[in-house]
A and B are shown apart, each in its own frame.
Chain A
């Protein structure tokens, strides 16, 4: 068993313990409440589709708070930063994916005849969720305060504002019976690799100069320079 795998197994339990679960739990409650009107009301695909879309955004926002490690400056560890950060991503990604999938299945089951386009909605959900995680991951490079994680929801907010208010013909959020559905989802798909690359870059080791201690002038260097 390689060192990295062993490190991952050893770290899994502590990371699960220290990740802030309250935001994830609150996001789960909000996303379930969001879908309730669609589940209890008349079967209309619009309610179900908007319900699962909003659930993806809210769950991504809740998960983004796991990306900031407040103890990072104190953790003298042989485990590289990328491994610790990806472990945090994985630890929150698994439950929120499960919650979203459950909500999607419940929404699909509440429809009589119409079907929810699973592939395209999953891509939308992945983009919405990963936008939050990527935003928080990028912010986490610049500090260790939990407040920085707000960058995740802020990035999602930016995505929403940029796409939600476009004219009807250019809407990024059409309904399945819209003629634009296929064309719009051809644009959603390339967003995924962009976000994954952003996460990869953000979860790297910090730049060496950021880890360096403040430079001290060594008297011997001065002597040598003379």
Chain B
């Protein structure tokens, strides 16, 4: 009998490491907890953006915040994976494994790119759930990168903490500690350019104008540097010198990236936003009889604005040609300013249409503007209703004036009602109708209801015959008498709208 000694098959270190990396990645991608986190993140992002038409800056902020939730899951998962050598009394067993601890740590770091893959799929799902809508505005690839890198940092933190502090309690406590830091940062920073806000992983401030430069690339660099520092922190357990150097370099890079964000940020304030909102930043298109000017990337919204305006245009006398422009951003008071928010579904979309339609009628009939006589600082940017970096500004409403007894008030109400199948229902909720500073009386609403009940051709003829009066503050007089409306109360000269 011959005995043959067989040398144990020893896999080369690289092959063994690659196998471990693949195994860890497969384990992570097969975990139901990760996919619960993905579903939660996607659901949150979808819910936050449900009411408004998507914009890239808002979408990336929502997606980034949702990816923070996913990162929380990955901190716990990463910690549990890294501390598995120490649970259930397996410390001694783990020491007997052919793979040394360093190789196992490298294998665990496969969780980082796998987390990136999971985060990218979450962002993709969030985008798909927006369909048939699609974000408008300026697409910023760096901000999409932010939503992908944040969960990678979460997984890396979990692995690093699990390698240094394998106690089961450390994972949740680390997660809550990090959540506490993130919750405190916005409280400490009062404005978007304050340091705590720059340190916050997600860029939350809305872009005042799509072409306004924002140092988002530097922010992504800051996050990537943090990721490298945390990965180095995990490997520091096994290799001291090299990883210490990498960690130090990454931290220096992170500090430099934050400093660059501070240097590159356009100073806050409405005046600085003006060049990015004025007519030179708008792209104009004529659709039907009306010209629409949208800011960069907002072209798809023109059809939404047209849906709101077209019913009014159709109800106007055929000869009317000097129709106001609808523009986004800033412009002369003779144009209608559409803002950067638009309702997406049901009543939110209806409110947006009614708002723009009312504003269009106000400009068309030369009713006084909300801000007339109030050229406050940054008035134009305020009219854009943009959320400025230092926080949202309230619209100045100016002193109200009475539209009682004026023909244009009644006709404005009738025009608004034309856009809806049930015009009377629109007029039954006058609190939803705003024509600048004009206060609407009950008598005008009742008069408009009479006009709605009358044949449309008759009212159209009235509008054509009295077009000049309708575009001025002239009193209605007995023009509406054929419709059963007489003696509209007239406001005194002091309170009447000009």
Contacts and interface: CB of A to CB of B under 8 A. Distances in A.
Q: Are A and B a genuine interacting pair, yes or no?
A: yes
Contact of A147 (B65, B69, B168, B181): B168
A38 B76 CA distance: 28
A198 interface: no
B176 A30 contact: yes
A150 to B, nearest CB: 6
Interface in B150-196: 167-173, 175-177, 179-181, 183-184, 187-188
A184 B80 CA distance: 36
B316 interface: no
A161 B69 contact: yes
B349 interface: no
Interface string A140-170: 0000011101101110110011000100000
B172 A47 contact: no
Nearest to A20: B169
A190 interface: no
B54 interface: no
B44 interface: yes
A37 B183 CA distance: 12
A48 to B, nearest CB: 10
Given A41-B188, A147-B80, A157-B175, A26 B183 contact: no
A66 to B, nearest CB: 10
A124 to B, nearest CB: 14
A27 B188 contact: no
Interface residues of A, number: 36
B202 to A, nearest CB: 13
A165 B44 contact: yes
B72 interface: yes
Contacts of B175: 153, 157
Nearest to A41: B188
- A interface, over-half SS: helix
B298 interface: no
B48 interface: yes
Nearest to A60: B176
A58 B187 contact: no
B10 interface: no
A85 interface: no
A150 B172 contact: yes
Contacts of B176: 27, 30, 54, 57-58, 61, 153, 156
- B interface, over-half SS: helix
A150 B188 contact: no
A138 B76 CA distance: 20
Nearest to B167: A22
Interface in A31-76: 31, 33-34, 37-38, 41, 44, 46-47, 50-51, 54, 57-58, 61-62, 65
B173 A58 contact: yes
Given A146-B168, A147-B168, A157-B72, A27 B187 contact: no
A160 B179 contact: yes
A170 B15 CA distance: 54
Contacts of A31: 180
B87 interface: yes
A65 B171 CA distance: 12
Nearest to A153: B172
A23 B88 CA distance: 18
Contact of B177 (A30, A65, A156): A30
A26 B172 CA distance: 11
B184 A62 contact: no
Contacts of B177: 30, 33-34, 58
Interface of A: 20, 22-23, 26-27, 30-31, 33-34, 37-38, 41, 44, 46-47, 50-51, 54, 57-58, 61-62, 65, 145-147, 149-150, 152-154, 156-157, 160-161, 165
The 10 closest A-B pairs by CB, nearest first: A153-B172, A23-B169, A54-B180, A34-B180, A30-B177, A58-B176, A65-B169, A146-B168, A47-B187, A147-B168
11 contacts: A26-B169, A30-B176, A31-B180, A34-B180, A37-B188, A46-B187, A47-B187, A57-B176, A65-B168, A146-B168, A154-B76
Given A33-B177, A46-B187, A156-B176, 14 more contacts: A20-B169, A23-B169, A27-B173, A30-B176, A37-B184, A38-B184, A41-B188, A54-B179, A58-B173, A65-B169, A149-B168, A150-B172, A152-B172, A154-B76
